[in-house]
Structure formats: C-alpha cells, structure tokens
Amino acid sequence: MQNVPHRNHLFTASCLALLVTSLSFGIRAGILNDLGVQYHLNASELGTITATAFWGFPLAIIIGGFIVDIIGMKKLLVLAFILHLAGILLTIFAGGYWTLFLSTLLIGIANGTVEAACNPLVASLFPENKTTKLNHFHLWFPAGIVIGTLIVFFLNKIGVSWQVEVAIMLIPTLIYGYLFSKLKFPVTERVAAGVSNAEMYKSVLSGLFIFMILCMFGTAITELFTGQWIDVLLKNVTDNALLILTLETGVMVVGRAFAGPVVHRFSPQGVLLISAILAFLGLYMLGHTSGNTIFVGALVFGMGVCYFWPTMIGFVSENLPKTGAVGLNLMGGAGMFAVSVYMIFMGKHYDALVAGKLPAGADFRLYNEAPAGSDLAHVLSEAKKAAGPEVINLTMMIPLVLIIVFAGLNIYMKGRKKPDLLVSAAAGH
C-alpha cells in the first residue's frame, strides 16, 4: 500500500466533492416541477434538461479515466471545482431552457470529473478494502440527495425561491475546493503497481469486463432514472412524492454505511443478485399501490438499489484490477450514458402516455399551461396520475432481467480465482 500521510483527509474531501454532486441531483429533482411551471416546459423538455447532466457525466468520467494517470487526480479535481462553481452560478441566473441546458451540462461534467478522480483515489487509498470503502464513499451520493430534497421541501414550505436552494450548493463546493488545493495526492493504484497500458487495455477488452459494462446499463437506469423522476411520476399519485425519494435515499445511506459486513458475508456478486431482487419488488410496489403502501415500496426499492453503483465499481476493482482508473471510469460513464438515453426516451414516452389519456384532439400545451385549480389542470392531473405508474412498471422489467444475469454471474464466479492486490503483488508481498 502507498504511504499517504493524509489519506483520511483526502477521503473526507472526496466525500464532500461527491456531496456536491448528489446535492445537484436532489435539489434538481425537487425543483423540476417549479422549472416546468416558471419556464413553461413540458416533460420532454424537462427530460432533456435533466439528461444533459447525464451526458456531461459520461463525457467527463471517460475522458478523465484516460488522462488521470497522466495529469494526476489533483488537477482533475481542481477542474471539477471550477466547473461546479460555473454551473451552479449559471443555474441561479438562468433565463430559460437554453441557460438551464448549459448550466446542467456544466454541472454534469463537474460531477463526472469528481468521480473520474475520486473512484481511483479511494481504490488507491484503501487497496485492501476497496468495495467497502467505495460503498462508504458513495453513501454521500444518497446522503446528498436526502439533504437536497429536504432543503427543497422545507424551504418551499416557507416560500424561499428555488434560486436560493441552488445557491446552498456553493458552500460544500468552496470547502472541497480549498481542501483539495492543500493536500498531497498519491498516484493511482495501477501506476503504483507498474501495470502497463497494454495490460490495462487487454483487461478492459475481456469478456467479464464487457459483461459488467452491460450490467451497469441496467443497474444505473434502475437507480438513477427512478430517483431523478420520482417527483414527476408520482406527484399526482401522492402528496408526498418528494418524501418518497427522501425515504428511498435515506435507506441507501444507512445501507452503504454498513456495507462492510454485508459485502463480506455475501460477496460483491451475491450482493448484486439480492439488490436486483429487492429493486424489482420495490418498483412493483411503487407502480401498483397507493397511499401509505407506496412508502413501503420506496423502502424496499431503496434497499435494492443501495449497493448497485459502488458494488459494481468495487467488483471490477477487485476482480479486474488491471483495468485501473480507465476500467472504473468506463463503468461509471457507461451507467450515466445509459441513464441519459433512457431519460430522453421515457420523457417522450411519458408525454405520449399523458396525451393519450386526454380528450381526443386535445392541445397538450394548452393543458400544461392551464392555471392551477382549473378544469383543464384537473384533467391533466388525472392523466399524469395514470401515466406515472405505467412508466415505473416498464422500468421494472430492467431489474427483472438483472436477477437472471446476476444469478449467472454468481455461478460463474464460484469457479474463478480472485486476483491478488496489484500494489501488494508488485511489492512482493
């Protein structure tokens, strides 16, 4: 293991950077309807704006994965700080669709840059316990969503504008930027172990890695699409749609905090199978129930998606360590790219479902711009109430497929020897 004098400080700063990333998700999910009303945006336009964060993320994380070994993790995180700062300020002073589009893209690139540097940083800091520490690091993603949605919920109650809610993200942004500027960074695990570029690319092209990339499409969509769109999909089914997201992500925080014994008891691939089963059951309950039972569905769903993202990355880091930072970041990029495509598709599908439930020949935009309490607004609300669960039911098919493929992964891994730690092996331990 590399001798890093301030590894706990680096880990804390990494968690703060990820907190900013997740606050952007939580606060955006909470203000999505406000943006739609203020700028007269339909679900398709909101879906495209939201998806830009998921375009910027894979762009940044994949490019970052290829250059992090060359320029170092510190320079990437300085860039993330600048982009976060610019994106947040542009959101606060947005004037409509295109400024929201650009600001969300900048924040997405910043978010991807954070993960491009911090995933290999955590793996390098804790090579002996990677999956557990990646879960501890990634608990700040749901934690930030909980904090962000609660900020929106309580500030909305007292009539504070959404611009002030977005501005709160500036506080942790400035803190993590300061901390990273003062700390000394290690090199990545692959560089420390002396693994060549040729070995890295050979490992990236292996069948197991490609299989995990495909699985990442499904796990990322299941977790992030549902979380980002829950307020839109269930707002007309329950008065507490945003609190459903808070409950779901709260469960994820607790689960990731206690990831160590869970991962060691079931193995990463065993955890992924259990997660897929619970995610399927949770989505089924969200799409087929109403009233307080929806909160039970959110609880089960949160338990399901809790370990998906960090355990997928941890699995690759432990079982395909020669893929290095490129492997970790290709996983993250693939997941976010899949979510961005799915969001655009489902945004249009949701609009089509809602339009299909309106009277024949109805002008959708007329209904969308109708004042609250009017007959047109009531009809639109009922149409959305029916359309939201249909989108959830369609998404439910993804974890159903994952149950099958992760069952196969468990069988395959029983006959496969786990590789040695890269740095320990290089040191002759």
Nearest to 11 by CA among 152, 142, 186: 186
What tens digit of pLDDT does each residue of 351-399 get? 777 777 777 766 666 666 666 767 677 776 667 767 777 788 888 999 9
Q: What local confidence, expressed as pLDDT, does residue 420 receive?
A: 60
Q: What local confidence, expressed as pLDDT, does residue 8 receive?
A: 87
pLDDT value at 34 more than 50: yes
Contact 112, 59 (CB under 8 A): yes
Name 78's Cβ contacts closer than 8 Å, sequence gap at least 6. Answer: 177, 180, 181
Considering 124-128, 227-231, 250-254, 401-405, the range whose residues carry the highest mean pLDDT is: 401-405
Task: Please tell me what DSSP assigns to residue 400.
Answer: H
- Asked whether residue 2 is domain-assigned, the answer is no
Q: Average pLDDT, stretch 92-121?
A: 89
Q: What local confidence, expressed as pLDDT, does residue 44 receive?
A: 77
* Residue 189 DSSP SS3: helix
Q: Average pLDDT, stretch 42-71?
A: 82
How high is the mean pLDDT of the chain? Answer: 83
Q: What local confidence, expressed as pLDDT, does residue 429 receive?
A: 35
Instruction: Report the C-alpha gap between 215 and 153 in whole angstroms.
Output: 34
Confidence band (pLDDT; 50, 70, 90) for 37?
confident
Phi first, then psi: give them for residue 101, nearest 5 degrees. -60, -50
- Asked whether residue 72 is domain-assigned, the answer is yes
Q: Average pLDDT, stretch 192-199?
A: 82
Considering 74-78, 235-239, 387-391, the range whose residues carry the highest mean pLDDT is: 74-78
Q: Give one DSSP letter per residue of 62-74, joined into a string.
A: HHHHHHHHHH-HH
Instruction: Report the C-alpha gap between 350 and 385 in whole angstroms.
Output: 11
Name the residue range of residue 66's domain.
7-426
Confidence band (pLDDT; 50, 70, 90) for 250?
confident
Task: Look at the block and give the residue holding tokens 């002030």.
Answer: 164
Q: What local confidence, expressed as pLDDT, does residue 364 receive?
A: 63
Q: Average pLDDT, stretch 12-41?
A: 83
Q: Average pLDDT, stretch 317-332?
A: 89
Buried b / exposed e across 404-424, counting CB within 10 Å, b at 16+?
eebeebeeebeeeeeeebbbe
* Domains of the chain: total: 1
Q: What angle do helix axes 259-288 and 308-319 make, rounded to 10 degrees?
A: 140
Q: What is the CATH number of the domain that holds 277?
A: 1.20.1250.20
Q: What local confidence, expressed as pLDDT, does residue 229 receive?
A: 67
Q: What local confidence, expressed as pLDDT, does residue 411 receive?
A: 93
Instruction: Report the C-alpha gap between 102 and 106 in whole angstroms.
Output: 6
- Asked whether residue 128 is domain-assigned, the answer is yes
Q: What local confidence, expressed as pLDDT, does residue 224 receive?
A: 83
Instruction: Report the C-alpha gap between 325 and 250 in whole angstroms.
Output: 29
- Asked whether residue 1 is domain-assigned, the answer is no
Q: What local confidence, expressed as pLDDT, does residue 233 receive?
A: 60
> Between 6 and 181, where is the model more confident?
181
Phi first, then psi: give them for residue 15, nearest 5 degrees. -65, -40
> Between 174 and 123, where is the model more confident?
174
Instruction: Report the C-alpha gap between 263 and 269 in whole angstroms.
Output: 9
What tens digit of pLDDT does each residue of 278-293 get? 999 999 988 887 777 8
Q: What local confidence, expressed as pLDDT, does residue 424 receive?
A: 46
Q: What local confidence, expressed as pLDDT, does residue 419 receive?
A: 67
pLDDT value at 298 more than 80: yes
> Between 128 and 167, where is the model more confident?
167
Task: Look at the block and give the residue holding tokens 């839109």.
Answer: 232
